[in-house]
């Protein structure tokens, strides 16, 4: 139901192929990843999917598959979904060049240590022409301010900080310290909770087991309906 040509036209896939310099040596699993995503979504008949802006083409492809299968079945076997975007639908990587990618080392993880967060913030792209504190600085394209807009709780304070930065009078070291303090405060409880779960392996395995069993009960019903459409329900 999905052609290779359609997969290659997916904007997100095209960007990833370009950023990873695959050329025509595209791994099959990479190319078919949107189909795997569609399976994850449709298996639970999800109607609202929280995603980043770059994943919108994936949901569009999912809905194409849903419509095609329902047309073949002549009934509504699967349901279409809608995206749920946050207030900040896309965050740049710390280097400001690409989207965050663990393999490219330009991320801040929810599990990042205090040291990792500090290192990432210090490496963040700012304004290359803002060499001295008294130099006027650019806010647009400045990753530090992008993150401050996204995560700092006091928007009025950040607005004033921007004005001072643009007028000349605030250094990049100062803005990065403000951002680091903000991220450390946000991520500390998340990191602690994660460590608590990881420290109890038996509890963690049990959570995964219970979740898997519940998931299988739900998805097997959908799978049976799909198999029936293609005459595979006898196998």
Higher per-residue pLDDT: 21 or 71: 71
Q: Work out the pLDDT band at 143, boundaries 50, 70, 90.
A: very high
Domain span at residue 193 reads 102-199
In this prediction, residues 152-164 reach a mean pLDDT of 96
Residue 97 in any domain: the answer is: no
Residue 214 in any domain: the answer is: yes
- Does the pLDDT of residue 25 top 90, yes or no? no
Could you give the 3-state DSSP secondary structure of residue 235?
coil
Distance CA 102, CA 26 (A): 19
Same-domain pairing of 219 and 171: no
- Does the pLDDT of residue 209 top 90, yes or no? yes
pLDDT for position 147:
96
Tell me how far apart the 2 most distant CA atoms of the chain are, in Å. 75
| Sequence-separated contacts (24+) of 115-120 with Cβ below 8 Å | 117/180, 117/183, 117/184, 117/187, 118/180, 120/94
- Please give the backbone phi and psi of residue 108, each rounded to the nearest 5 degrees, phi first: -120, 115
Helix (H), strand (E) at residue 75: none
Among residues of the chain, what percentage have pLDDT more than 90? 69
Higher per-residue pLDDT: 136 or 25: 136
pTM for this model (two decimals):
0.79
Query: To which residue do tokens 């739900």 refer?
Result: 218
- Does the pLDDT of residue 174 top 90, yes or no? yes
Residue 225 in any domain: the answer is: yes
Burial category of 138 from C-beta neighbours within 10 Å (exposed 0-12, middle 13-18, buried 19 and up) = middle
- Does the pLDDT of residue 200 top 80, yes or no? yes
Same-domain pairing of 122 and 61: no
Could you give the 3-state DSSP secondary structure of residue 83?
strand
Q: Work out the pLDDT band at 235, boundaries 50, 70, 90.
A: low
- Mean pLDDT for the chain? 91
Q: Are the C-beta atoms of residues 94 and 123 closer than 8 Å to each other?
A: yes
User: Which of 133, 131, 129 has the alpha carbon at shortest distance from 141?
Assistant: 129
Q: Work out the pLDDT band at 21, boundaries 50, 70, 90.
A: confident
Q: Work out the pLDDT band at 234, boundaries 50, 70, 90.
A: confident
- What is the domain count for the chain? 3
HSE toward the beta carbon, residue 202, CA cutoff 13 A: 0
């Amino acid at each position: 139901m999905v052609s290779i040509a359609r997969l290659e036209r997916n904007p997100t896939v095209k960007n990833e192929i370009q950023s990873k310099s695959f050329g025509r040596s595209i791994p099959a699993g990479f190319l078919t990843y949107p189909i795997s995503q569609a399976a994850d979504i449709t298996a639970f008949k999800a109607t609202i999917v929280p995603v980043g802006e770059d994943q919108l083409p994936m949901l569009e492809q999912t809905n194409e598959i849903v419509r095609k299968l329902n047309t073949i079945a002549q009934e509504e076997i699967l349901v279409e979904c809608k995206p749920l975007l946050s207030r900040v639908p896309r965050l740049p990587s710390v280097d400001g060049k690409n989207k965050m990618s663990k393999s490219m080392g330009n991320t801040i993880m929810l599990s990042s240590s205090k040291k990792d967060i500090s290192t990432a913030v210090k490496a963040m792209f700012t304004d290359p022409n803002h060499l001295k504190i008294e130099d006027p600085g650019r806010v647009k394209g400045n990753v530090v301010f992008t993150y401050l807009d996204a995560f700092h709780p006091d928007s009025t304070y950040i607005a004033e900080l921007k004005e001072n930065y643009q007028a000349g009078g605030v250094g990049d070291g100062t803005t990065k310290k403000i951002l680091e303090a903000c991220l450390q405060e946000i991520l500390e409880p998340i990191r602690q909770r994660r460590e608590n779960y990881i420290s109890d392996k038996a509890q963690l395995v049990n959570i995964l087991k219970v979740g898997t069993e519940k998931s299988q009960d739900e998805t097997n019903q959908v799978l049976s309906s799909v198999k029936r459409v293609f005459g595979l329900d006898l196998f």
